[in-house]
């Protein structure tokens, strides 16, 4: 894959991660649940990012793979939060 594609993918997935982290408090009841959800997502994101960076081929930047792995974990949460926002659901 080209470096441009890697940069675009990393930027897009990082935007997804920011969106998910931003929307969590609006759809989660209670500060402790919000912090737990954010912590779990961030921890799993760091773990997957580190795993991806650890096995990075020489021609691909490990930092870009880390960001992509971190963002990839947030995709399902971002989709769920987007749908909850579209339906105007209350915090759960």
Task: Write out the chain's pLDDT in tens, 92 residues.
Answer: 588 999 999 999 999 999 999 999 999 999 999 999 999 999 999 999 999 999 888 878 889 999 999 999 999 999 999 999 999 988 88
Which domain covers residue 78, as residue numbers? 29-92
Is residue 21 in some structural domain? Answer: no
Is residue 5 in some structural domain? Answer: no
Considering its fold, how many domains does the chain have in total? 1
Is residue 3 in some structural domain? Answer: no
| Cβ partners under 8 Å of residue 39, min gap 6 | none
Identify the pLDDT of residue 31: 94
Is residue 10 in some structural domain? Answer: no
Is residue 45 in some structural domain? Answer: yes
Identify the pLDDT of residue 35: 97
Is residue 2 in some structural domain? Answer: no
Query: What's the pTM?
Result: 0.90
Is residue 39 in some structural domain? Answer: yes
Identify the pLDDT of residue 10: 95
Asked if residues 72 and 39 have their Cβ atoms less than 8 Å apart, the reply is: no
């Amino acid at each position: 894959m080209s470096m441009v594609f890697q940069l675009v993918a990393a930027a897009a997935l990082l935007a997804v991660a920011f969106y998910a982290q931003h929307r969590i408090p609006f759809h989660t009841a209670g500060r402790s649940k919000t912090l737990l959800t954010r912590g779990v997502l961030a921890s799993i994101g760091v773990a997957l990012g580190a795993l991806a960076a650890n096995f990075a081929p020489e021609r691909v930047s490990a930092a870009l793979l880390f960001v992509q792995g971190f963002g990839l974990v947030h995709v399902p949460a971002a989709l769920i939060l987007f749908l909850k926002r579209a339906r105007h659901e209350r915090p759960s």
